[in-house]
Amino acid sequence: RYMGLNELRDLYLRFFESKGHLRANSFSLIPQNDNSLLLINAGMTPLKPYFTGQEIPPRRRMTTCQKCIRTGDLENVGKTARHGTFFEMLGNFSFGDYFKKEAISWAWEFCTKELELDPERIYVSVYEEDDEAEAIWHKDIGIPMDHITRLGKEDNFWEHGSGPCGPCSELYYDRGEEYGCGSPDCGVGCDCDRFMEFWNLVFTQFDRKDDGTYEPLEKKNIDTGMGLERLAVMMQNVDSLFDVDTVRAIRDHICRIAGVVYGADHDTDVSVRVITDHIRSMTFMISDGVLPSNEGRGYVLRRILRRAARHGKLLGISHPFLTEISQTVIDTARDAYPELADKRDYIHKVIASEEEKFYATLDAGLAILQSFVQEMKEEGASVLSGAKAFKLYDTYGFPTDLTEEILEEDGFSMDMDGFRKEMEAQRIRAREARSETNYMGAKATVYNELDPAMETTFVGYEQLYTENSK
């Protein structure tokens, strides 16, 4: 049964509402009170305080569709059918309320009754020591044993350092032989696109102690995550994330601007897919308040935007175009994320300004890099020196992963350690320059006493005034 991405999101949230869950809006991509990650990468991360018991949830059952960014998947984008840096994660959560049995049977009910998926095509994995989950799938649900795979810790045990953790069970969809790698061992866990993981059910039942032992939690939790785009791939019976209705609208817009046909040439398609993904990431990041910069989240945004701009060049687009494409992102997602439409002008302004900044040096930078590559060919070298990579970074605004990507296309690499040394040397030069001269030309000011490593912390969220101003 064909269903649009927006329709599927709603179907899922309504289903779990009918099972007593409180439906909440997606949280911001920027983590709040959590320094352990730059950007929200799963539905459960903004809910961590409810899982640890630090805060009381508004209800013990919740359901969300969370915007996520995974920069770890950057290299996969455009190459696999199922990875984006941006995607939406559907999730249902239990904070010390229901556990394995309900989580599994509702997942099954949703797949087979609501979505009417063919049960034959659904495969599941369980953690190798989790007999309980296997018994529920096999005895209660009736899944045949040849559709259940036991997997080890890497794949099916969820933990991050110490704290709440536990085994998980994943649902896979057999997309058919035509998507397989052809290997006789091909099955659940294979890297190819045939058996696509689409839903992860995490059973948080242990507390990992600092000494590495596991203590059963008194209040067990459920945390599930299903990729909305992957679900749409299944329900729309299409090849990849980039063929899903809303994503495809963005893809087609890029093709129109570039004057290319999707599906005709491999390299062209990769560029189109990269831009399609990256424009979603940047539009959502900016709407949540991230600005391009040289560190942290801002640098993630800058890298993504500049990479997209360069792939535009590869497609033969000779003018800034990202602002225009972001309009389609907003149009296709505004119903679920009204903040996009509210901040449209602001989003456009931020993209346009960063793209123009990069555009001013892009051609010159590409020409310099080409000449470096030429030199390397003549010298028989295969690694670009740190000094040259730094010049591209410092003078032409090329993030290192962009330089690396371009080099890789020609079979070269770059000296990352050398690059870091150049960065450090420049930092020291800048500090020395600051301490010698200063604003107004005078050599000594009251600021000389200040420690350059001193940081300013904004405390306005926790306190309204300082002791002195009371």
> What are the φ and ψ backbone dihedral angles of 110, each rounded to 5 degrees?
-60, -45
What's the per-residue H, E or C state across 99-164?
Answer: CHHHHHHHHHHHHHHHCCCCHHHEEEEEECCCHHHHHHHHHHHCCCHHHEEEECHHHHEECCCCEE
- Distance in Å, CB of 90 to ligand ATP, minimum: 9
Residue 313: other Cβ atoms inside 10 A: 14
251 binds, among Mg ion, ligand ATP, none (CB under 5 to 8 A by kind): none
Per-residue interface string for the shown chain with Mg ion, residues 182-201, x marking contact by CB under 5 A: ---------------x--x-
Nearest approach in angstroms of CB 373 to ligand ATP is: 31
Residue 127's DSSP bridge partners are 151
C-beta of 76: minimal distance to Mg ion in Å?
8
Query: What is the rounded radius of gyration, in angstroms, for the C-alpha atoms of the chain?
Result: 25
Q: How far is the CB of 165 from Mg ion (least distance, A)?
A: 14
Return the biggest CA–CA distance within the chain. Answer: 82
Q: Give the interface segment with ligand ATP, choosing from 223-231, 264-272, 300-308, 442-450 (CB under 6 A).
A: 223-231
SS3 378: helix
Nearest to 127 by CA among 171, 166, 174, 98: 166
Residue type at 328? T
User: In this chain, which of 9, 67, 230, 306 binds ligand ATP, going by CB under 6 A?
Assistant: 230
CB neighbours of residue 441 within 10 Å:
6
Nearer to ligand ATP, 89 or 325 (CB): 89
Q: How many binding residues for Mg ion (CB under 5 A)?
A: 2
Q: Does 156 bind Mg ion (CB under 5 A)?
A: no
Q: What are 206's strand-pairing partners?
A: 165, 216
Least Cβ distance, residue 94 to ligand ATP (angstroms):
17
Segment 53 to 92, residues that bind ligand ATP, using CB under 6 A:
70, 73, 82-84, 87, 89
Q: Of 130, 229, 355, 422, which lies in the binding site for ligand ATP, with binding defined by CB under 6 A?
A: 229
Minimum distance between the CB of residue 315 and Mg ion, rounded to whole angstroms?
Answer: 28
- Confirm if 308 and 362 have CB atoms less than 8 A apart: no
- The least distance separating ligand ATP from the CB of residue 41, rounded to whole angstroms, comes to 8
Question: CA 403 to CA 373: how far, in whole Å?
Answer: 11
What does 175 interact with, of ligand ATP, Mg ion, none (CB < 5 to 8 A by kind)?
Answer: none
- Can you read off the two tokens belonging to residue 170? 């994943």
Please choose which of ligand ATP, Mg ion, none residue 89 contacts, taking the beta carbon within 5 to 8 angstroms, the exact cut-off set by kind: ligand ATP
Instruction: Count the helix, strand and coil residues of the chain and give each as a percent rounded to the nearest 5.
Output: 50, 15, 35
Site string for Mg ion, 57-76 (x = CB under 5 A): --------------------
**C-alpha to C-alpha distance for 334 and 340, rounded to whole angstroms:** 6
- Tell me which DSSP letter residue 72 carries: G
Distance CA 175, CA 121 (A): 8
Residue 170 beta carbon to Mg ion: minimum distance, rounded to whole angstroms: 5
Rounded to a whole number of angstroms, the minimum distance from the CB of residue 454 to ligand ATP is 39
- Could you say which of Mg ion, ligand ATP, none residue 273 binds, taking C-beta under 5 to 8 angstroms by partner kind? none
Of the CA atoms within 13 Å of residue 69, those in its CB half-sphere come to 26
Residue 279 or 407 with smaller CB distance to ligand ATP: 279
Q: Shortest distance, CB of residue 68 to ligand ATP, whole angstroms?
A: 7
Asked if 384 contacts 413 with a C-beta cutoff of 8 angstroms, the reply is yes
Q: Which is nearer to ligand ATP, 244 or 286 (CB)?
A: 244
Between the alpha carbon of residue 307 and those of residues 74, 203, 241, 262, 301, the distances in Å are: 11, 38, 20, 19, 10
Number of residues that bind ligand ATP (CB under 6 A): 16
Nearer to ligand ATP, 197 or 355 (CB): 197
**Which partner from the list ligand ATP, Mg ion, none does 199 bind, CB cut-off 5 to 8 Å by kind?**
ligand ATP
- Chain positions 187 to 206 lying near ligand ATP, rule: CB under 6 A, are 197-200
User: Which residues sit at the interface with Mg ion, rule CB under 5 A?
Assistant: 197, 200
User: Which residues sit at the interface with ligand ATP, rule CB under 6 A?
Assistant: 70, 73, 82-84, 87, 89, 197-200, 225-227, 229-230
